[in-house]
Structure 1
Amino acid sequence: MTGSLAGLHILVTGGGSGIARAAAERYDRDGAKVTVLNRSAAGADSVHQTSGGRIQVIVGDATDPDVLRSAIDAASDEHGGLHHFTSGVGVFDNYSRVSELSVDELMAAADEVWRVNVRASLLAANLAAPALRSAGGSLTLTLSESAFNAIGGGVLYGTSKWALRGMVDHLAAELAPDIRVNGVAPGGTGGTRFGGLTSLGQTTTADKVSGRDERIAAGTLLGTTAMPQDHSGAYRFLADPVDARVVTGVVIRTDGGRRL
């Protein structure tokens, strides 16, 4: 298979479902050698099978340093270089209201949100930096419309995405000129399986909320509800070392023109 990303080695965390999976599959279609690290074995197997076996999958937790280190090694080329890393893991707070949680619930939920939504990306930058630097590679973080406005989630989720927005700027400065760092901020998206906070006993996913797709469409200038694949072009662009050669510290908002 050939394409604009032909031969590039790319690692995607959380790539067994949703937006991260769409990004991984887009990289694969454009010729990259893609590795997906996913906590769910079922999700990992699904993306592997759908790709015809081209996408290498590893089952494990992207917040675990040992697991992530092994995934980076597996995804890198024979010289130890990694051309691109997409951080796609995330957890949703199901619009939990901080003022209505007990102190114990708040502490547990905040720790979980920070560990998955923020610390995993910090860990990615820390552990992948040598391999990315070796290849002159790039890192893309997954934000949300919640990183710009008080929409799309509760305070816990929203503030974690605001933290990632700042992380893009600061990592871009720290890792320049060797590694480009950018982000994609999707708006509300249908067809996803975005898990809730286990610390609060949440098991529903964001796309199961009644009327959610209609509300998303009504709140955008384009009047549409995005699907995971609608965001994949932004990820592909940022991963491309030619098309995005001078792009760093940028967040692409794929939110359909969110009405403010």
Structure 2
Amino acid sequence: MGWLQGDVALITGGGSGLGRALVERFLEEGARVVVLEYSPDKASALEKDFGDDVATVVGDVRSIADNKKAVALAVEKFGKLDILVGNAGIMDLPAMLLDLPEDKLDAAFDEVMGVNVKGYILAAYAAAPELRKTKGSMVFTASSASFIPGGGGIFYTASKHAVVGLVRELAYQLAPEVRVNGVGPGPMRTDLRGSKALAPQDYVFSPQTQEVADMVFQAFPLKCDDPADYTGLFVALASRRNAATTTGEVINAADGLGIRGTTFLTGAHFKKGYVHT
């Protein structure tokens, strides 16, 4: 029997990368899953690949209506909601503040903060009433950039620091019925997209060559680069039995980066070898 046997989870941004890995792992642990996904093609692929145990809503995490639609689908199709995983996010290239054109500041801030922070707040707002009924939990995807500089640009790092505060405040407000925690992964081979305000082309923030992957991951003692490597912590925090006493915590799971004492991850390093598609 899996750690999430019989549970129903809503995962935002579950169509690719870490999000899809979470869908797969939650299914393995016995859960049924609803996914709020921006891409119609990715949503269709999920339903095709996983069948009746997965249902999808195509929508935008910045829309309260779309978040409420996803929650309603979970209740309608599976009878309840036990877990919210706020995972949808975007990168900012990464953006160095003084390199940014002045006319891009407002749009880039609104876009990155809208997806990475507002999206989590709206998901929590939509899901909380149902999670209170089931004494469920929320788990949010933070980042190594929630704890250190140099893991993203000015907007991304600010947004991921904000996630830490959001987790703590939600945990305070929703206790004792709902536990709220987060996981802060390090870099991985994922499908993290860039801000369209900063790059009109579709910008994939992930190592696209072995050379670049080796450069990035050699800085991390454990050298984990597969999104699936990070899914276990989400499962553990979502599990009532295994994390009943844990709320308001964000686990820094940055592949052992903290034991190095420093990081070489700067905007210049990230810009080399990442592609527009």
TM-score range, shorter chain: over 0.9
CA distance in structure 2 between the aligned counterparts of 1:168 and 1:12, rounded to whole angstroms: 16
Q: What secondary structure, in the 3-state scheme, does the structure 2 residue paired with 1:242 have? A: coil
Does 1:28 pair with 2:58?
no
Paired residues of 1:80 and 1:131 also in contact (CA < 8 A):
no
TM-score, scaled to structure 2: 0.88
AA aligned opposite 1:216: V
User: 1:226 Cα deviation (Å)?
Assistant: 2.0
AA aligned opposite 1:176: A
RMSD: 1.7
Counterpart of 1:108? 107
Counterpart of 1:197? 195
Give CA-to-partner distance per residue, 1:101-135, whole Å, 9 cap, x none: 12220111001011000001111111211011011
CA distance in structure 1 between the aligned counterparts of 2:103 and 2:162, rounded to whole angstroms: 23
User: 1:246 Cα deviation (Å)?
Assistant: 0.9
Counterpart of 1:60? 59
Matches within 5 A, 1:103-182: 103-182=102-181
Counterpart of 1:231? 230
TM-score, scaled to structure 1: 0.93
Paired residues of 1:145 and 1:151 also in contact (CA < 8 A):
no
Give CA-to-partner distance per residue, 1:148-178, whole Å, 9 cap, x none: 1112211111110000011111111111111
CA distance in structure 2 between the aligned counterparts of 1:31 and 1:225, rounded to whole angstroms: 25
User: 1:212 Cα deviation (Å)?
Assistant: 3.5
**Where in structure 2 are there 5+ consecutive unaligned residues?**
263-277
Change in 2 beyond 3 A, CA 1:254/1:77: farther
Change in 2 beyond 3 A, CA 1:209/1:100: farther
CA distance in structure 1 between the aligned counterparts of 2:242 and 2:207, rounded to whole angstroms: 37
Paired residues of 2:57 and 2:69 also in contact (CA < 8 A):
no
CA distance in structure 2 between the aligned counterparts of 1:115 and 1:181, rounded to whole angstroms: 20
Paired residues of 2:195 and 2:203 also in contact (CA < 8 A):
no
CA distance in structure 2 between the aligned counterparts of 1:45 and 1:254, rounded to whole angstroms: 31
Paired residues of 2:116 and 2:159 also in contact (CA < 8 A):
yes
Counterpart of 2:16? 17
Give CA-to-partner distance per residue, 1:192-215, whole Å, 9 cap, x none: 111111112252211146544223
Counterpart of 1:40? 39
AA aligned opposite 2:220: T
Q: What secondary structure, in the 3-state scheme, does the structure 1 residue paired with 2:184 have? A: strand
- Quote the sequence identity (%): 36
Paired residues of 1:12 and 1:34 also in contact (CA < 8 A):
yes
CA distance in structure 2 between the aligned counterparts of 1:170 and 1:197, rounded to whole angstroms: 27
Change in 2 beyond 3 A, CA 1:25/1:78: closer
CA distance in structure 1 between the aligned counterparts of 2:155 and 2:128, rounded to whole angstroms: 28
Give CA-to-partner distance per residue, 1:79-116, whole Å, 9 cap, x none: 96411000011011111111111222011100101100
User: 1:74 Cα deviation (Å)?
Assistant: 0.8
CA distance in structure 2 between the aligned counterparts of 1:90 and 1:78, rounded to whole angstroms: 26
